[in-house]
Amino acid sequence: MTNSKNRLLRATAGTLLLALAAALVFGQGRGYDISSMDKNTAACADFYQFANGNWLKTTEIPAAYSSWGSFNALAENNRKTLHDILEEASKKTNVARGSNEQKIGDFYASCLDETKREAEGMKPLVPELARIDKINSTKDVVAQIAYLHRHGIPALFGFGSLPDLKNSALVLGAAGQGGLSLPNRDYYTKTDEKSVKLRDDFVKHIANMFVLVGDAPEVAAKNAQTVLAFEMRLAQNSRTPIELRDVTTQYHMMTPAQLVEFTPNFSWADYRRAAGAPATGDINVAHPEFFQAVNKLLTEVPVADWKTYLRWNLITSAAPSLSSQFETENFNFFAKTLQGRKEQLPRWRRCVSATDASLGEALGQVYVSRTFTPESKARMKTMVNNLIAAFRERLQKVDWMSDATRQQAIAKLDAFGQKIGYPDNWIDYSALSVSRDSYLANVLRSSEFDQMRDFAKINKPVDRKLWGMTPPTVNAGYNPLNNDISFPAGILQAPFFNPNADDAVNYGAIGAVIGHEITHGYDDQGAEFDALGNLKNWWTEADKKNFDTRADCVVNQFSGFEAEPGLHLQGKLVSGESIADLGGLYVAYDAFQKSLQGKPRPADIDGFSPEQRFFLGWAQVWAEKYTPEWVRFLAQSDPHPLSRFRVNGPLSNMPKFAEAFQCKAGDAMVREPSQRCQVW
């Protein structure tokens, strides 16, 4: 989720950052792996280590990855299926022109064609660079920004469709901060040694890229400094990742007339016409202070510097679609330096991912026909409904909430939408042209196609049936503006949804994921939206205060965790995901216990009770190792806690966990009652 509209609500989508996984074999009839466990560590001392310690000891992060986790079979099987589909499509010569099969086959083939890409070098960029060279005025700058946005290149800021936060039935235009090459504002403003070194490496990378398009080394070095100085100014007027989580401060509707007064140097009318967006209608300017700074930059920064910045945006966005020189230089900084990866994935894997990103629902139709049966969808729907029923029971029993607020909370739950497996209505790609002539051209055309689809939604009613993820995606989400939960087919397989595992493990894995997404509707961001998806206060003053106090408990707990010595998690950054993990585990545990009613008690397996297996199901799906660089990135940027804390954090708050493993007061996995966190 990287586009502008999703930045406004980055964490509220409730996405689970699921890493590519390791070769962990989940035993038939179990769903967990005994060989991964470290039984020399007491479960009550460090449950993450107990559940995964031997795996952590023996597993190495493959050179092409920044992290390596516990669901390798799922990620690899999905990729293999997509690879088979694309190989078949790319080798067929008798498919109908304009068909989905032709488009995914040709897109994939053009990506694989190293010979053509090497021969072309930077040639595909020449006409695009020529457009930038012709810029002579700030009016031209605005036109070029619009042109880049039309083709999916996010220069300067983000603009797209988003439901009106206070009238979620209507889609409007929304503009948000952007324009940074490094992950967020903090990478530009921090003055510690590692941050300074990273910016130095960034400047060298920019210079190397300018050399690749023909700049003399001394000119490239100067241009690189220009880009850094420009982005530093943007960063100084940008919000931090924590500030971006506060959706209540990101609603600033402006009419066209107000926009003229607000940014007189930036013509929104000219921009919207050039970008292909509707020229009329109000816009939500989510971050006004950022656009006030942009307005000043248009008069304070020379046009020549604007051209340098826009050239950089074009080059860095196009680099993965060009020859190996560009790909390698791009990888060396953004993957090696920033993430700690040592080598690139094989080209076929990169091309599978690129095709999924550009033609996801065309590829997804074939994928679900091979992997996701109607029976699986029905079984998942039943499980979702069971978890919703369990959450409703929890809402009815919450003792810190008044009946007035409780009724609103239950009404919101009753209005939840469900998206399971794949869309009911697929995207129509008939307007998109794909050929084998040029990979970059395919990328730009598909980006423009997506952008035009997005712009076409503006000033129209919301279509709540649209998906935000492709079917093969290993992910899940909650959308507060639709008030719905999504579970693509890609995640509905082992180890999360394992037909060969006993119910205890499945409830601890996919059950807790479902509960996690439901709870996102009631985390510190989701709680700001009502049953219709509107940004609206539905709480009494006393109830909201009680909620905030409980949420602060989670913030304080996670702020105490160290990602590495001296680098703490940011409790306010990860609070939404951590509230969702805690609530998801509670509701999944309740649902599991309810599923046992009227049945013989399940037998112990490997000496573990059903309740213990439930918690093992949760812990083992989060087994994960990281490079040091990736740890620092996640701690500074990601709203999800590192996996060790996703396991130990919520479980240490749960008396049922302590009961299952016979933990005692004073054990590390047992928080004192006065410190124990429970929101839902």
Per residue in 239-269, pLDDT (tens digit) is 999 999 999 999 999 999 999 999 999 999 9
Domain membership flag for residue 186: yes
What pLDDT is recorded for position 6? 37
Categorize the per-residue pLDDT at 22 as very low, low, confident or very high, splitting at 50, 70 and 90: very low
Gyration radius of the chain's alpha carbons: 25
| Model pLDDT, residue 325 | 97
* Residues 520 and 644 grouped into a single domain: yes
Q: Are strands 417-421 and 477-479 parallel, antiparallel or unpaired?
A: unpaired
Instruction: Select from 317, 339, 361 the last residue of a domain.
Output: 339
Residue at a domain's end among 339, 357, 385: 339
Residue 371 has pLDDT above 70, yes or no: yes
**Could you check whether the bond before residue 480 is cis, i.e. omega within 30 degrees of 0?**
no
Q: Are residues 577 and 492 in the same domain?
A: yes
Residue 107 inside a domain? The answer is no
- Alpha carbon dihedral 261, 265, 270, 275, in 10-degree steps, equals -110
**503 has pLDDT over 50:** yes
Q: With 70 as the cut, is the pLDDT of residue 2 above it?
A: no
Interval 507-565: pLDDT, tens: 999 999 999 999 999 999 999 999 999 999 999 999 999 999 999 999 999 999 999 99
Q: Are residues 254 and 383 in the same domain?
A: no
The residue to which tokens 């007339």 are assigned: 257
pLDDT in tens, 453-484: 999 999 999 999 999 999 999 889 999 999 99
Sign of the dihedral defined by the CA atoms of residues 193, 199, 202, 208, in that order: negative
Q: What is the pLDDT of residue 232?
A: 98
Quote the pLDDT of residue 373: 86
CB-based contact 462:170 (threshold 8 Å): yes
DSSP 21: B
Q: Provide the pLDDT for residue 399.
A: 94
- β 67-69/624-626 pair status: antiparallel
Do 306 and 385 share a domain, yes or no? no
Domain total of the chain: 2
pLDDT band of 355, cuts 50, 70, 90: very high
Are the C-beta atoms of 337 and 629 separated by less than 8 Å? yes
Q: Residue 356: is it exposed, middle or buried by C-beta count within 10 angstroms (0-12/13-18/19+)? A: buried
Residue 10 has pLDDT above 60, yes or no: no
Res. 451: pLDDT tops 50: yes
Q: Binning pLDDT at 50, 70 and 90, where does residue 71 land?
A: low
Residue 12: its pLDDT value, please?
A: 32
Query: How far is CA 664 from each of CA 40, 44, 45, 51, 655, rounded to the nearest angstrom?
Result: 18, 8, 10, 19, 10
Confidence of residue 53 (pLDDT cuts 50, 70, 90): very high
Q: Concatenated DSSP letters for 362-404? A: HHHHHHHHHH--HHHHHHHHHHHHHHHHHHHHHHHH-SSS-HH
- 520 and 623 co-located in one domain: yes
Structural domain span for residue 271: 133-339
Residue 26 has pLDDT above 80, yes or no: no
List the catalytic residues.
517, 581
Considering the domain architecture, whether residues 272 and 397 belong to the same structural domain is answered as: no
Residue 253 CA from chain centroid, whole number: 26
User: Any idea what the CATH number is for the domain that residue 236 is in?
Assistant: 1.10.1380.10
Specify the pLDDT at position 492. 86
Residues contacting 173, CB < 8 A, separation 6+: 159, 160, 161, 162, 272, 277, 278, 281, 282, 283, 284, 458
pLDDT score at 77: 81
Q: Give how far Cα 428 sits from Cα of 84, 223, 518, 557, Å.
A: 23, 42, 30, 47
CATH number at residue 678: 3.40.390.10
Tell me the pLDDT band of 9, cut-offs 50, 70 and 90.
very low
Q: Who contacts 345 (Cβ-Cβ below 8 Å, separation ≥6)?
A: 64
Structure confidence at residue 73 as a pLDDT band (50, 70, 90)? low
334 with 393, same domain: the answer is no
Same-domain pairing of 329 and 391: no
Residue 230 lies in a domain: yes
User: What pLDDT sits at residue 263?
Assistant: 98
335 and 389, same domain (yes or no): no
Would 484 be classed as within a structural domain? yes
Residue 88 lies in a domain: no
Are 226 and 317 contained in the same domain? yes
Nearest by Cα to 243 from 313, 186, 310, 195: 186
Neighbours of 342 (CB within 10 A): 14
- Mean of pLDDT values over 112-123: 96
Region 83-109: mean pLDDT is 95
Same domain, 335 and 398: no
Do 172 and 294 fall into the same domain?
Answer: yes
Could you say which of 294, 315, 339 is where a domain stops?
339
> For the ranges 99-108, 490-499, 580-589, 646-655, which has the lowest average pLDDT?
490-499
CA atoms within 13 A on the CB side of 53: 13
Q: Specify the pLDDT at position 304.
A: 98
CA dihedral 143, 144, 147, 149 (to 10 degrees): -110
Average pLDDT over residues 601-618: 95
* pLDDT, mean of residues 214-241: 98
As given in the structure block, the two tokens for residue 321 are 């679609």
Collapsing DSSP to helix, strand or coil, 171 comes out as strand
pLDDT, one tens digit per residue, over 141-177 is 999 999 999 999 999 999 999 999 999 999 999 999 9
Q: From the CB of residue 477, how many other CB atoms can be counted at a distance below 10 Å?
A: 22
Q: Tell me what pLDDT residue 446 has.
A: 97
Residue 432 lies in a domain: no
- What's the pLDDT tens digit per position in 393-423? 999 999 999 999 999 999 999 999 999 999 9
pLDDT at 72: 61
Q: Is 616 within the bounds of a domain?
A: yes
Instruction: Give the closest residue to 570 by CA, choosing from 275, 244, 278, 234.
Output: 244
Smallest CA-to-CA distance from 87 within 328, 381, 418, 363 is with 363
- Asked if pLDDT for residue 19 goes beyond 60, the answer is no
In whole angstroms, what is the distance from residue 363 CA to residue 354 CA?
A: 11
